[in-house]
Structure 1
Amino acid sequence: MNNKGVMALGALIGAAIMYGIVSYFIPAGTDQNVELRPDDLQLVALGKKVYDANCASCHGAKLQGEANWRERGPDGMLPAPPHDETGHTWHHPDVVLVALTKYGPAAMAGGDYKSAMQGYEGVLSDEEIIASLSYIKSRWPREVVARHDQINQSAAAQ
């Protein structure tokens, strides 16, 4: 197996494990059948507006995230990660991305986990959340979209 195959397999296994862990924390009643639609141009256009108004100030206008996003700051919180292919957004299945956006990382992780990112429940509708995430996914290179689609398939099989 070549390096790309090993990396893809590792990403799939990691995503499956992460899905199992994180799905344990997804609040009951969360729609498990959500699906991002990066090919729906109307939805993606709405998503860009939602992203620009609610996400870009931290995650960057070009999805680049904040500097040193893997290192906790003096406040103990992680900077906003990139949502482009250099970040870990695409490592999570759609249902996890929607839940993280809706409820916030602190609610998802539980305990005393601290995050600067609020949950957007009551701020954005489910459709606006799906639109913003569909916009993000529409910006990824084809090979990353293909890997993310595989992650969604693996998660659905769980």
Structure 2
Amino acid sequence: MSLLLIAACSEQTDTRSAGSALDRILGRDISPEQITRDFDPDQVAHGQTLFQKNCAVCHGQNAEGTPDWRKPLENGRYPPPPLNGTAHAWHHSTEELKRFILNGGPPGEGRMPGWEGILTDQEIDDILIWIKSLWPDEVYQGWYTRIENRPK
């Protein structure tokens, strides 16, 4: 499962300076309050199993992605990016990530197939919870306060 639009983003996150990367990309300060992740351990474990069964062939067993994922292949498409907090999954809301998984990647940008009718909504939610559980605290904090929970 490749999140194509994520691969098309241009900034890479260095988890050692995630706050500054988020500030540079989004131009806002990270909320000083610490966000607590209260993921259901069973959901995380189920998401990991589903990811390894369906997604790891492209994204790696630990969501580490493809080396040189930011460099287009000969056909102009991008290889699968990391989803572990070192790339761009955190640039997108849960709703957007779910849509990428269901519908696949935008034409011409990558090879992400659509998983609608293959994975259930709950299975996709579980996979996304596992992916988010991998993100460093600074990345999750920035994502939650700036992307997921931003005023609409």
TM interval, shorter chain, is 0.7 to 0.9
C-alpha RMSD of the superposition: 2.1
1:153 aligns with 2:146: no
Contact preservation (8 Å) 1:65, 1:80: yes
1:43 maps to 43
In structure 1, distance between residues paired with 2:129 and 2:38: 5
Q: What's the CA shift for 1:8? A: 3.1
Contact preservation (8 Å) 2:19, 2:139: no
TM-score by length of 2: 0.75
Evaluate the alpha carbon distance shift between residue 62 and residue 153 of structure 1 in structure 2; reply closer, same or farther with a 3 A threshold: same
Partner SS state of residue 97, structure 1? helix
2:93 maps to 93
Q: Which is richer in helix?
A: 1
Q: What's the CA shift for 1:38? A: 6.3
Contact preservation (8 Å) 1:103, 1:119: yes
Q: What's the CA shift for 1:55? A: 0.6
Q: What's the CA shift for 1:12? A: 3.5
| Correspondences of 1:41-80 after superposition (within 5 Å) | 41-80=41-80
In structure 1, distance between residues paired with 2:83 and 2:56: 10
1:125 maps to 120
Contact preservation (8 Å) 1:59, 1:82: yes
Evaluate the alpha carbon distance shift between residue 60 and residue 4 of structure 1 in structure 2; reply closer, same or farther with a 3 A threshold: closer
In structure 2, distance between residues paired with 1:80 and 1:4: 21
Moved over 2 A (4+): 3-14, 112-115
Q: What's the CA shift for 1:13? A: 5.2
Structure 2, gaps ≥5 residues long = 1-16, 29-36
Structure 1, gaps ≥5 residues long = 15-36, 107-111
Evaluate the alpha carbon distance shift between residue 38 and residue 78 of structure 1 in structure 2; reply closer, same or farther with a 3 A threshold: farther
Partner SS state of residue 79, structure 1? coil
1:19 maps to none
1:98-129 superposed Cα distances (whole Å, 9 cap, x missing partner): 101111112xxxxx524211010010001101
In structure 2, give the amino acid aligned to 1:145.
Answer: Y
Partner SS state of residue 121, structure 1? coil
In structure 2, distance between residues paired with 1:74 and 1:140: 30
Q: What's the CA shift for 1:7? A: 3.6
2:7 maps to none
Q: Kindly tell me the number of residue pairs found equivalent between the two proteins.
A: 127
Identity in percent = 35
